[in-house]
Each structure stands twice: as structure tokens, then as C-alpha cells.
């Protein structure tokens, strides 16, 4: 076989492996971003600023897919924020993203902090996504939103303390591959000395979860239909 033919064949094989997920898509590197008071800090996995590099990783399995920040930004004096995704949790075919964060403003005043965690290279064909969040805050409120290739999957609206939790299910999944998933948490503190602790996850629902959800919606629909149709009670329906 001539060299040009070998090159073309090799490229075809690599492209096929990429399409079917046997090789991770290029540039699939998680990115954590914090913004407040006109300042933005962007941290890429294994790059400077990441407190969870493989060289300093406390876990025997390594820290690939874990991006961490510890420091101050704007009026938020204390920020310990971690974003986690594949391969530590989830995979390209089973997408999972998680943000865990502790944030406190100094006594100089309040402010708004936006935390964004994004990862590319997902190939899982899933019908929808579940977003969930829980935590505590002494601030004004917390908002959690998720995105698929920049399109809004779902949002909680403003959640207030002292404790909060919320879950939402998107009404669509990916239509092109690979795709990008993004989590965004917006924390608002009205004064100094306030704190927020939060954990938010984005993942594909288990098939059983969709069955339960569908059954619940069907039950609600039948209940409404029963109330609208007269005479059913006499037949024990």
C-alpha cells in the first residue's frame, strides 16, 4: 500500500474512533470560571491556578477532570470552588458535571459572584438532563442554570436561605455530537460577612427515573381527566 493511501486510511480510522467515542474528542478540557466585581478568573484543568493537578493530587486515581480554585475575587474574600467531571465522575457517553463551592464576602461589602463550569467532548445520546442543587446561604439568593451548547437546559430562579434545594428536568437532549455542557451558579450577597455553601450537579437521568416521571405525569393527567368527565365516580373510577 502506498504511503498516501496509508495516511488516508489512518485518518479514516481515527475519525471513526472519534465518532464512536473510542478516543476522547480533542480539546475536551474542563474549564472553571469565577467572575465578580469586574474581575474574572479562568482556570483550565491541569493548568496554572488549578489546585488539583495530577502532580499534587491527593487521590490515588488521579485528578483528571477536577478543577479547583482557592482565593479571593472582588469582595468575595474566601472562595473554595471545585468543578468535577469526566473521567473522575461520568464519561463521554454518561455526562456528569458537579460544582461544589464555599464563598464568603469580606466585611467591606457584598457583591455578585458568577461561577461557571464547562466541559466538551460529550457523545452520550441522552433524551434529557437533570439539574439539581442544594446548600445554605445567608446572602440574598442563589440561581442555578445549565446549558447545552449554549442553549438553556433549565434554571431554578432565585433560591433563598437559610437552606435551599431544587431539581429540574430539561425537555430536550443533544442533536449533534460531540457537545458541550455548562453549569452556572450566581451568588448574590447584599452585605459583607455573608457566606454561601452550595453543591450543584448536572447529569443524564437513569432510564428508571424517566419511567417514574412519565408514570407520575400520566397519573396526574388521568386524575384531571377523571375530574372533568361526569359520572365516573358511580362506576368506581
For the stretch 5-48, pLDDT in tens is 444 444 343 334 333 443 344 447 999 999 999 999 999 999 99
Q: Does the pLDDT value for residue 60 go beyond 90? A: no
Local structure of 138: helix, strand or coil = coil
Residue ranges per structural domain of the chain: 27-223
Cβ-contact 113, 186 below 8 angstroms: yes
pTM: 0.78
Cβ-contact 52, 82 below 8 angstroms: yes
Gyration radius of the chain over CA positions: 22
pLDDT of residue 222: 52
Assigned architecture for domain 27-223: Sandwich (2.60)
pLDDT of residue 14: 38
Mean pLDDT for the chain?
84
- C-alpha cell of residue 194: 455573608
Amino acid at each position: 500500500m502506498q504511503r498516501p493511501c496509508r495516511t488516508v486510511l489512518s485518518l479514516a480510522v481515527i475519525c471513526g474512533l472519534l465518532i464512536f467515542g473510542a478516543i476522547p474528542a480533542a480539546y475536551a478540557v474542563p474549564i472553571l470560571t469565577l467572575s465578580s466585581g469586574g474581575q474574572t478568573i479562568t482556570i483550565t484543568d491541569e493548568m496554572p491556578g488549578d489546585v488539583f493537578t495530577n502532580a499534587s493530587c491527593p487521590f490515588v486515581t488521579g485528578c483528571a477532570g477536577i478543577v479547583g480554585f482557592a482565593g479571593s475575587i472582588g469582595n468575595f474574600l474566601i472562595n473554595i470552588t471545585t468543578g468535577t467531571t469526566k473521567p473522575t465522575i461520568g464519561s463521554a457517553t454518561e455526562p456528569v458535571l458537579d460544582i461544589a463551592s464555599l464563598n464568603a464576602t469580606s466585611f467591606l461589602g457584598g457583591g455578585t459572584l458568577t461561577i461557571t463550569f464547562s466541559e466538551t467532548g460529550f457523545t452520550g445520546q441522552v433524551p434529557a438532563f437533570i439539574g439539581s442543587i442544594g446548600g445554605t446561604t445567608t446572602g440574598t439568593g442563589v440561581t442555578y442554570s445549565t446549558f447545552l451548547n449554549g442553549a438553556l437546559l433549565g434554571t431554578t430562579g432565585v433560591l433563598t436561605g437559610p437552606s435551599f434545594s431544587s431539581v429540574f428536568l430539561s425537555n430536550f437532549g443533544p442533536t449533534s455530537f460531540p457537545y458541550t455542557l455548562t453549569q452556572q451558579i450566581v451568588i448574590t450577597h447584599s452585605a459583607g460577612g455573608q457566606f454561601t455553601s452550595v453543591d450543584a450537579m448536572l447529569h443524564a437521568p437513569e432510564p428508571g427515573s424517566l419511567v417514574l416521571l412519565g408514570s407520575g405525569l400520566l397519573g396526574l393527567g388521568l386524575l384531571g381527566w377523571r375530574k372533568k368527565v361526569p359520572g365516573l365516580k358511580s362506576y368506581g373510577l
